[in-house]
Chains A and B, each alone.
Chain A
Amino acid sequence: MNNFLQFFSQGENIAFAVFAVCIISGAIFMINFTKVVHMVLSLAFTFISLAGLYILLQAEFVAFVQVLIYAGAISILMIFGIMMTKHQTEEEQPKRPMHSLFLLIGVIGLLGILFYAIQNAPFPAPGNFQPGESNTQAIGELIFNQYVIPFELISVLLTVAFIGAIILAKREDE
Chain B
Amino acid sequence: MNIISSYLILGAILFCIGLYGALSKKNAVIVLLSIELMLNAVNLNLVAFAKLGLHPSLTGQIFSLFNITVAAAEAAVGIAILIALYRNKGTSDVIDMDSMKR
Contact = CB atoms under 8 A, between A and B. Distances in A.
Contact of A158 (B2, B30, B54, B73): B73
Nearest to A92: B26
Contacts of A73: 72
Contacts of B4: 123, 126
A126 B56 contact: yes
Nearest to B17: A27
Interface string A110-154: 110011001101011011111110010011001100010010001
Contacts of A142: 58-59, 62
Interface string B42-75: 0110011011111110110110111011111111
A80 B92 CA distance: 13
A86 B36 contact: no
A59 B16 contact: no
Given A127-B55, A154-B70, 12 more contacts: A24-B14, A30-B30, A40-B29, A62-B65, A85-B86, A85-B92, A87-B27, A91-B30, A93-B26, A158-B69, A161-B76, A168-B84
B2 A110 contact: no
A94 B30 contact: no
Interface of B: 1-10, 12-21, 23-30, 32-34, 36-37, 40, 43-44, 47-48, 50-56, 58-59, 61-62, 64-66, 68-77, 79-84, 86-87, 90-92, 95
Interface of B: prevailing SS: helix
By size class, the interface of chain A is 35 or more
Interface string A1-42: 001000100000100100010011001101100001001100
Contacts of A115: 9, 12
Contacts of B70: 154, 157
Contacts of A3: 1
B72 A74 contact: yes
A121 B56 CA distance: 18
B72 A94 contact: no
11 contacts: A27-B14, A27-B37, A43-B33, A50-B40, A69-B68, A70-B40, A100-B24, A108-B16, A154-B70, A161-B73, A168-B83
Nearest to A110: B16
Contacts of B26: 91-94
Contact of B75 (A47, A78, A143): A78
Nearest to A129: B56
B81 A168 contact: yes
